[in-house]
Amino acid sequence: MTNISPDKFRRVDKENEMSEFIARPKITYWSDSWRRFKKKKTALAALVVLSLLILLVIFGPMLSKYSFEQVDSVAKNQGPSAAHWFGTDELGRDIFTRIWVGGRVSIIIGLAGAFICAIIGCIYGAVAAYVGGRVDTIMMRIIETLISLPYLLVVIIISLALDSKSLGTMILAMTITGWCELARLVRGQLLSLKNQEFVIAAETLGVSTKNIILRHLLPNTMNVIIVSISFSIPSFIFSEAFLSYLGIGIQAPMTSWGAMASAAQQQFIFYPYQMVFPALLIALTMLSFTLIGDGLRDALDPQLRD
């Protein structure tokens, strides 16, 4: 039997025992992203403002006793008062009610347009990047052709072809070319991922192309996609406001912030409040989404983890 000297052993202190324990609790990627997002005070404030605006857009018309279509010839062009909190327009309609009803249209167009473009752009860009070769070349030339088309011309042609200026027509017209930038962005991200080891392992195991794209490639670009969506929403809201301001957007009796600003421009010198409220809400909504997108860009970037 081998004799081992006791001198070869020493007592381990409690402090050294604890050195093997993980000091920081395990958290998921999204939990860590939310933790870092909360550190961005401007982005968090923008999220609070945007949440308040959305609540008012949903429930604001219920706070008023007037319908957004109700015309009162006696109460034309009245300033803000206890009866009409934001005043009335040239037809005597309550601006407070119309502001929040119009906000529904503007925000629906922004959200719907951004998400439709995200779905089309992600699938298109992912297929182009993963398949590659001649298919990629042809698909990218199609995108370059669509991007070169004047945006305003596309909207006008769609409106004339469908003989409609409804909410659905506006969303369709704005999303025809709106997905192209995201498709190029997703393609660039996936080109850097398609040769990674986890993709090669999935191909070796016989995973189908569809599942590789949906389960392996796209989830790894989700941070880029979310940030792109957050920046696309204010772009769609502004586009809707611009088109409605030109008179080729949402038509009466439905309204939007852009349509209200367009109607108020004729009487801005005498009744500036009719322009101030819709313009202020357009600016606030766009600024909130932009600041949230800026915060998400930093929070979701794995290279900035602390």
pLDDT at 51: 92
The answer to which of 6-10, 98-102, 169-173 has the lowest mean pLDDT is: 6-10
Of the candidates 111, 76, 79, 106, which has an alpha carbon nearest to the alpha carbon of residue 93?
76
Residue 145 lies in a domain: yes
What's this model's pTM, rounded to 2 decimal places?
0.76
CATH number of residue 138's parent domain: 1.10.3720.10
Residue 30 lies in a domain: no
The answer to which of 94-98, 105-109, 177-181, 239-243 has the lowest mean pLDDT is: 239-243
Of the candidates 227, 220, 224, which has an alpha carbon nearest to the alpha carbon of residue 295?
227
Residue 140 lies in a domain: yes
Cβ count within 10 A of residue 282: 25
- Average model confidence (pLDDT) across the chain: 81
Confidence band for 48, pLDDT divided at 50, 70 and 90: very high
Residue 33 lies in a domain: no
| 3-state SS assignment for residue 229 | helix
65 φ, ψ to 5°? -90, 0
- pLDDT tens for each residue of 242-265: 887 777 777 777 788 888 888 888
- pLDDT tens for each residue of 152-172: 788 778 877 777 777 788 888
Residue 85 lies in a domain: yes
Q: Look at the chain and report how many structural domains it folds into.
A: 1
For the chain, give me the number of helices (H) and strands (E)? 13, 0
Residue 171 lies in a domain: yes
Residue 1 lies in a domain: no
Confidence band for 300, pLDDT divided at 50, 70 and 90: confident
Residue with tokens 């020493």: 10
Residue 124 lies in a domain: yes
Domain that residue 145 falls in: 52-304
